[in-house]
Amino acid sequence: MYILTQGPLPNTGCHFWLMVWQQKTKAVVMLNRIVEKESVKCAQYWPTKDDQEMLFKETGFSVKFLSEDVKSYYTVHLLQLGNTNSGETRTISHFHYTTWPDFGVPESPASFLNFLFKVRESGSLNPEHGPAVIHCSAGIGRSGTFSLVDTCLVLMEKGDDINIKQLLLNMRKYRMGLIQTPDQLRFSYMTIIEGAKLLKGDSNIQKRWKELSKEDLCPVFDHSPTKVMTEKYNGNRVGLEEGKLAGDGHTGLSSKVQDALEEDSTSALRKRLREDRKASTAQKVQQMKQRLSETERKRKRLWRWWCCVRPEGLSVRTPQHPRGRGRLDTPRKRGAQSCRTRGAAHAAPLPKVRT
């Protein structure tokens, strides 16, 4: 069982920890970064090494920093959640996957499965604990992928037959819109297939996952913010990560560069699509103008022909008239004789009949 939720906001962090306390949750799984492509995805709702403790007076809770384990693409924080009213405390494991792009997928199924089994090994997903809280920015894309893969692997361990499509549709009844993109669904299938290898008795598969994921390398992104800058954002105080890499002393420049490159490529694609739409619209407008011009010329030719060949004295309703639309066109006074009178005047005389 899981609780899938949106990333906590500056004014909802207190209620987030209240939910964790009420549901007796043992683990919080975070699948997004605080800032992605210069956009704030959620608030800094847990303490860091420098802050050590955060107080949430609205709901009467405190969160203390205990320890952290930094890997190349995820970080595990050990936190202490305390009720300031009763004095009771609980230990919460905070698993932070730091390299999963928004609307995207992880680098490989191996890295994701290595992270998933790291969460499992902690015992935080065991039935004796409350449901794990899983969140990304919206709580449906990356969170849906995580919950679908883990659910399928649990059912396979029990020996049950699974229908991944039907299982996802059933999960969407409880959390609408789970798994946002075709890539996320495709990645879910690939990861489930890869995870099934472990269930078939391949004991070395986890070791290969760890080697392929390269979790022991220096982190490329900022996993553990050592300093939190508070910035005014949309009228709220929002915690932002200050990029700083561990080990080699580099700054978070590589993270910013990669985000900038991704943003530039996305902007270029959007610009090209926008220009294509403009060109297509201009072409359609030009074609419409040509068709209207041809229709107008045909109408004028037809009207000239009609004015030249129509019988004299025939009453017609003209489309346009200088003195008014739809005026009845009557014979002019110059030839007062009607067609019938003229026909009678020029008719041949009748022969005389002898009696």
- Give domain status of residue 187, yes or no: yes
Q: What is the pLDDT of residue 280?
A: 77
φ, ψ dihedrals at 63, nearest 5°: -125, 125
**Tokens in use for 210?**
């760890």
Active-site option among 42, 136, 308, 339? 136
pLDDT of residue 314: 55
Q: Provide the pLDDT for residue 63.
A: 96
Integer-rounded Cα Rg, in Å, for the chain is 38
Q: Mean pLDDT over residues 298-310, rounded?
A: 77
> Residue 346 domain-assigned?
no
User: Could you tell me if residue 334 is inside a domain?
Assistant: no
Residue 122's domain comprises: 2-217
Q: What is the percent of the chain with per-residue pLDDT over 90, rounded to a whole number? A: 39
Residues sharing a CB contact under 8 Å with residue 113, sequence separation 6 or more, in sequence order: 191, 194, 195, 209
Q: Is the predicted pLDDT of residue 229 greater than 90, yes or no?
A: no
Place of tokens 């700054």: 251
The tokens for 105 are: 């997928």
Flag whether pLDDT at 226 surpasses 50. no
**Predicted local distance difference test score (pLDDT) of residue 252:** 42
* Residue 62 to residue 83: CA distance in whole angstroms: 7
For 149-161, the pLDDT digits (tens) are 999 999 998 888 8
Instruction: Please give the pLDDT value at position 248.
Output: 41
Kindly state the percentage of the chain with pLDDT values over 70.
67
Predicted TM-score of the model (pTM): 0.60
State the Cα–Cα distance between residues 116 and 111, nearest whole angstrom.
Answer: 9
Q: Is the pLDDT of residue 192 over 70?
A: yes
pLDDT for 241-286, tens place per residue? 333 333 343 334 344 444 544 555 566 666 677 777 777 787 777 7
99 or 207, which is more confident:
99
Q: How many domains does the chain fold into?
A: 1
Give pLDDT, residue 309: 67
What is the overall mean pLDDT for the chain? 76
Proportion of the chain in helix, strand, coil states, percent, rounded to 5: 40, 20, 40
Collapsed DSSP state (helix, strand, coil) of residue 233:
strand
Q: Residue 132: give its domain's CATH number.
A: 3.90.190.10
Comparing C-alpha atoms, which of 83, 54, 81, 52 is closest to residue 68? 52
Decide if 213 is inside a domain: yes
318 lies in a domain?
Answer: no
- Residue 153 inside a domain? The answer is yes
pLDDT given at position 57: 92
pLDDT digits (tens, 9 = 90+) for 37-83: 888 899 999 998 888 899 999 999 999 999 999 988 899 999 999 99
| 152 given a catalytic annotation | no
| Residue pointed to by tokens 């609980």 | 90
Q: What is the pLDDT of residues 123-175, one digit of tens each?
A: 888 888 999 999 999 999 999 999 999 999 999 988 888 899 999 999 999 99
pLDDT band at 215 (very low <50, low <70, confident <90, very high): low
Per-residue pLDDT band for 316 (boundaries 50, 70, 90) equals: low
**pLDDT tens-digit readout, 90-99:** 999 999 999 8
Asked whether residue 324 is domain-assigned, the answer is no
In a domain, 96, yes or no: yes
Hey, what are 103's tokens?
A: 């609307």
